[in-house]
């Protein structure tokens, strides 16, 4: 079968590979791509196995044993470590990562599979993986406790747009900041206000979805006294952030990271997509084949925020 494999930094090859082996074999219908895939290609990533490595972690397909449509979750927590014991499975110390969506078939532990509702197309269901990370980040923000908070999202990429939508659904007054006009229009269609720059110290909750040190700093600068700042975008490893000391202390800013998701959050995301509460079509980009993947991941993203959809059988 054909699959994309990484042979080293920047070295992506489309190859004929052996059939994968594992508990359940799934024929891939669609795999969406995100900034993590770009990171995997350019810089490597902690979730990648040894080279040559299969990748693609937002995957939907059909189980070969039962014929059911499933989302192949990208991780299975161990259920035994100190984090799994208390339900913080996103921090599992012995996580099994399940990668390989950019291939015609993927093998997965049964525990990684989530049922997909009839009527939810594969490309939409695949977005449950990043949406689950957004669900997790909003849970970290604790908005249930303050539904009318002045909430802000920094960055109008697909993650920022998903965060804005979830905050709107939670009843927050939401402002999204992005320098691209097209992304501001997408945020408005999701029910948020959109601006080029956030007011300094003007928000009770700031969710950062830029993934660069300057974005983390801008998120802190936009936080009002007593605010929570949730850092959602992962900075490249080795990068450092200089923090302003005074507001952290005197304004009691509460800075939290948000990483990954739990299996329950994946199911919640699938339900939101199936119900149409998050309009996945507004976030779907062109469908491409494996041969187009390398160039598509290298291309700088301009204009609207759209996720690549890969059909490995094209
Ligand atoms: Zn992703
Ligand atoms: Zn664990």
Q: Taking the C-alpha atoms of 48, 53, 58 and 64 in order, what is their torsion angle to the nearest 10 degrees?
A: -130
Query: What residues flank ion ligand 2 with Cβ within 5 A?
Result: 77-78, 81, 84, 92
* 64 Cα–ligand 1 center, Å: 24
Residue 166: Cβ within 10 Å count: 26
What is the number of the ligand closest to the CA of 86?
2
Can you give the pLDDT at residue 164?
Answer: 97
Measured in Å, residue 309 CA sits from the centre of ligand 1 at 12
CA–centroid distance, 130 to ligand 1, in Å, is 5
Q: What does the domain layout of the chain look like in residue ranges?
A: 2-126+279-310, 134-257
Nearest ligand for residue 39 CA: 1
Give residue-wise pLDDT tens across range 81-118. Answer: 999 999 999 999 999 999 999 999 999 999 999 999 99
Cα-to-centroid distance, 95 and ligand 2 (Å):
6
pLDDT digits (tens, 9 = 90+) for 255-302: 999 999 999 999 999 999 999 999 999 999 999 999 999 999 999 888
Ligand closest to the CA atom of residue 269: 1
CA 34–ligand 1 middle distance (angstroms)? 5
Q: Do domains 2-126+279-310 and 134-257 have the same CATH topology?
A: no
Cα–Cα dist 134/136, whole Å: 5
Tell me the CATH number for domain 2-126+279-310: 3.90.180.10
pLDDT at residue 239, as a whole number: 84
Tell me the per-residue pLDDT of 116-135, one tens digit each, with 9 for 90 and over: 999 999 999 999 999 999 99
Task: Locate the DSSP E strands across 123-278.
Answer: 150-154, 173-177, 193-195, 203-208, 223-231, 254-257
Q: Which residues touch 181 (CB under 8 Å, ≥6 apart)?
A: none
Q: Where do the DSSP E strands lie in 17-58?
A: 24-32, 53-54
Q: Which residue has the higher pLDDT, 14 or 144?
A: 14
CA distances from 24 to 7, 69, 92 (A): 25, 12, 22
**Is the pLDDT score of 170 beyond 80?**
yes
CATH number of 134-257: 3.40.50.720
Calculate what percentage of the chain has a pLDDT beyond 90.
86
Task: Look at residue 144 and tell me whether its pLDDT is greater than 70.
Answer: no
Q: Which ligand is nearest to the CA of 76?
A: 2
Q: pLDDT: is 43 or 154 the higher one?
A: 154
């Amino acid at each position: 079968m054909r699959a994309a494999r990484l042979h080293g930094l920047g070295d992506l090859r489309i190859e004929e590979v052996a059939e994968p082996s594992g508990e359940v074999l799934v024929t891939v219908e669609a795999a969406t791509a995100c900034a993590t895939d770009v990171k995997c290609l350019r810089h490597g990533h902690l979730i990648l196995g040894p080279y040559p490595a299969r990748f693609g972690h937002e995957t939907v397909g059909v189980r070969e044993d039962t014929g059911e449509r499933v989302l192949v979750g990208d991780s299975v927590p161990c259920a035994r470590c100190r984090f799994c014991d208390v339900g913080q499975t996103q921090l599992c110390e012995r996580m099994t990562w399940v990668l390989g969506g950019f291939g015609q078939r993927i093998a997965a532990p049964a525990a990684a599979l989530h049922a997909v509702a009839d009527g939810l197309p594969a490309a939409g269901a695949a977005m449950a993986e990043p949406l689950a990370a957004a669900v997790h980040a909003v849970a970290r923000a604790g908005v249930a406790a303050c539904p009318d908070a002045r909430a802000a999202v920094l960055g109008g990429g697909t993650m920022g747009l998903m965060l804005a939508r979830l905050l709107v659904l939670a009843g927050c007054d939401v402002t999204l900041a992005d320098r691209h006009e097209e992304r501001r229009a997408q945020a408005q269609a999701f029910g948020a206000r959109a601006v080029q720059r956030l007011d300094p110290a003007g928000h009770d909750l700031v969710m950062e979805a830029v993934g660069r040190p300057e974005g983390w700093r801008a998120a802190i600068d936009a936080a009002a006294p007593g605010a929570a700042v949730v850092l959602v975008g992962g900075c490249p490893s080795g990068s450092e952030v200089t923090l302003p000391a005074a507001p952290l202390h005197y304004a009691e800013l509460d800075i939290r990271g948000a990483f990954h998701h739990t299996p329950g959050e994946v199911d919640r995301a699938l339900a939101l997509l199936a119900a149409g509460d998050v309009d996945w079509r507004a976030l779907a980009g062109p469908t491409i084949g494996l041969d187009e993947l390398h160039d598509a991941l290298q291309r700088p993203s301009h204009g609207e925020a759209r996720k690549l959809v890969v059909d490995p059988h094209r």
